[in-house]
Amino acid sequence: MSLYAVIFYLLAALILVATALAVTRKNPVHAVVSLIFSFFGSAMLFFLLGAPFLAALEVIIYAGAIMILFLFVIMMLRVDVAERTGFSPVRWMPSIAIGLLFLALSGLSVFRESGSAALITPAMASPREFGRFVFENYWLAVEIISLLLLLGLLAAVLLRKGRESKEKLPGGGEGEEI
């Protein structure tokens, strides 16, 4: 077992434990903090698998931006910690059975597929190489993604503005406070 393999299994354990903690915490703030650790683990995994630029993006966007946005919203909304659990195993038995069947089938297909047991050889795509590849082959997709980001921005702003314009309506509703 090489050093790379040791690092990979350590990272896998870190990611799984942090994600499991995030899924099971009652307090959303605790969940978000442990999820940040999970995303740091994913970033190191990306680095190990030869994608240093994506590792940086994972830290900056996932751990840095998205999770902090979640924290802001959780703190702003004062989310109730005592959350109703709507999960009873008996009622979910058919879904669990189908899910386990699906898991077994997919695991089988992953392990039976020829070449899937082949070892991954270390390689590295430098950010320059990666950027050149993306902008030479996928420039249209980059444009579409940037348009999507713009639309997301507009949607977020409009969702906020829609409430204000409603309150200007004469005799509008029950007069909710802003």
CB nearer another protein, residue 93 or residue 146 = 146
Residue 64: CB minimum distance to another protein, A: 11
Residue 90: CB minimum distance to another protein, A: 14
Q: Is 170 in the site for another protein (CB under 8 A)?
A: no
CB nearer another protein, residue 101 or residue 151 = 151
Q: Is 59 in the site for another protein (CB under 8 A)?
A: no
CA distances from 70 to 53, 64, 74, 76 (A): 24, 11, 6, 10
Q: Contacting another protein (CB under 8 A), which of 133, 143, 165, 167?
A: 133
Q: Is 73 in the site for another protein (CB under 8 A)?
A: yes
Q: How many chain residues are in contact with another protein, going by CB under 8 A?
A: 88
CA distance 26 to 6: 32
> Residue 72 has which token pair?
């802001």
Q: What are phi and psi of 28, to 5 degrees?
A: -60, -30
Q: Considering only residues 7 through 26, tell me which ones interact with another protein, judged by CB under 8 A.
A: 8-9, 12, 15-16, 19-20, 22-23
Residue of 32, 58, 53 whose CA lies nearest to 43: 58
Q: Considering only residues 90 through 119, tell me which ones interact with another protein, judged by CB under 8 A.
A: 92, 95, 99, 103, 106-107, 110-111, 113, 115-119
CA distance 6 to 36: 22
**Cα-based torsion angle of the residue sequence 67, 78, 17, 23 in order, rounded to the nearest 10 degrees:** -100
Q: Is 149 in the site for another protein (CB under 8 A)?
A: yes
Q: Is 50 in the site for another protein (CB under 8 A)?
A: yes
CA distance 87 to 156: 32
